[in-house]
Amino acid sequence: MKCSTCQAKAAIEIRRHNAAFCGPCFTAHLERQVQRTIESERMLDPGERVLVAVSGGKDSLCLWEILRRQGYETTGLHLDLGIDGYSPEGRKKTEAYAELHGLPLQVIEVRQETGFTIPELADRTRRPPCSGCGLSKRYLMNRAALEGGFPVLATGHNLDDVAAILLGNVLRWQVEQLSRMTPVRPASHPRLVKTVKPLIRVTEREAVAYCLLRVLDYHEDECPNAAGATLLLYKDIVNQIEAVSAGTKQAFYQEFVKKLQPRLAAGETFTLRECEVCGQATTREVCAYCRMMERARQKTVQRGRVTRTVLEVPPA
């Protein structure tokens, strides 16, 4: 197989584009594609300060590298989730990348910020770790962007991520979530920052190939809480369909965003206001994050009482 651009020996085939590339042409192709996504979706303006959410995994390091190479003024944001055997490595890889390129990086330790690590939060609230984790990440990322005065926050969600999330939302007809599934979420309230997903046309496989070719040292492990998660099943199903019908994955997401999402969004009628506890944007009196944290704190207090009672019982 030959490179579609320079006719050298191809290193990677992209079936949905009916193309193959050698290493250098592939990295150039991917960078061009991300830049085109940024421009066509009006994600970033030249010279705009961007806060990039970086976990240390392949997608977010690939994103940071591309934005850096394209000349955007980036600051990294890493959330240390406090997951034993997993979080330290992601933090190390993120810090190493920032140091190598002399880029600013903000690290937020979730435990220091909230009083709980993600596993402790899951235990206290009896919610699956991924649900409390997702909510905390969105909340803390938005707050960090607002406090740092960043007009935009970029995440490394790739095509596999958004196609799997879309399938999950369709299977349960989660209309509210579907109506918000856009590559760009505008700042629809003064306490919400604009968020963008520049990698929506890049697959997981392409992000890995890019990291290998650019020699980016990324954290390879999956979060231990993801094992058995339905999102992985949905990714697998979408990939099985893609294997027999190349291009379906991209069409599934892109055509949804073009044809259905605007209609769903037009039917949405909710008003955002400020959370009575923290001031961030919410549709309720108190936002979902503050409600979750209150439950976690109550559980901790209850447990404290139980522990004291047990201690006060004299030994038999």
Q: What is the DSSP letter of 194?
A: E
Nearest distance in Å: CB 309, ligand AMP: 37
Report the residue from 14, 162, 163, 287 that binds Zn ion according to the rule CB under 5 A.
Answer: 287
Choose between 23 and 119: whose C-beta lies nearer to ligand FES.
Answer: 119
The residue within the footprint of ligand AMP, chosen from 157, 194, 201, 249 (CB under 6 A), is 157
Q: Does 55 bind ligand AMP (CB under 6 A)?
A: yes
Output phi, psi for 50, to 5 deg: -115, 130
181's contact among ligand AMP, Zn ion, ligand FES, none, with CB below 5 to 8 A by partner kind, is none
The per-residue b/e assignment along 21-56, b for 16 or more CB within 10 angstroms, e otherwise, is: bbbebbbebbbebbbebbeebebbeeeeebbbbbbb
Query: Could you tell me which stretch among 27-35, 113-121, 205-213, 288-296 binds Zn ion (CB under 5 A)?
Result: 288-296
Give the residue among 132, 100, 93 at the shortest CA–CA distance from 116: 132
Backbone angles phi, psi at 42, to 5 degrees: 50, 55
Taking contact as CB under 6 A, which single stretch among the options 52-60, 114-122, 180-188, 212-220 is the one that binds ligand AMP? 52-60
Where along the sequence are the contacts to ligand FES (CB under 6 A)? 81, 118, 129-130, 133, 223, 225-226
Look at residues 46, 35, 254, 58 and name the one whose alpha carbon lies nearest to residue 156.
58
263-282 binders of Zn ion (CB under 5 A): 275, 277-278
d(CA 282, CA 143): 13
Q: Which of 156, 209, 252, 280 binds ligand AMP (CB under 6 A)?
A: 156
- Asked if 66 interacts with ligand AMP (CB under 6 A), we say no
Residues 125-154 that bind ligand AMP (CB under 6 A): 137
Distance CA 290, CA 62 (A): 33
Kindly tell me which of 22 and 118 has the beta carbon lying closer to ligand AMP: 118
**Residues forming beta bridges with residue 268, ordered by sequence position:** none
The yes or no reply on residue 54 touching ligand AMP (CB under 6 A) is yes
- 53 near ligand AMP, judged by CB under 6 A: yes
Angle, helices 159-171/204-213, rounded to nearest 10 degrees: 160
Residue from 10, 34, 51, 59 that binds ligand AMP (CB under 6 A)? 59
Residue 103 or 277 having the CB closest to Zn ion: 277
Name the amino acid, one letter, at 76.
Answer: G
Q: Does 60 bind ligand AMP (CB under 6 A)?
A: yes
Backbone angles phi, psi at 287, to 5 degrees: -70, 165
Tell me how far CA of residue 179 lies from CA of 233, 259, 290, in angstroms.
23, 12, 24
Pair 152, 194: CB distance under 8 Å: yes
Closest approach, Cβ 219 to ligand AMP, in A, equals 10
* Interface ranges with Zn ion (CB under 5 A): 275, 277-278, 287, 290
* Interface ranges with ligand AMP (CB under 6 A): 53-55, 59-60, 77-79, 81, 137, 155-157, 161
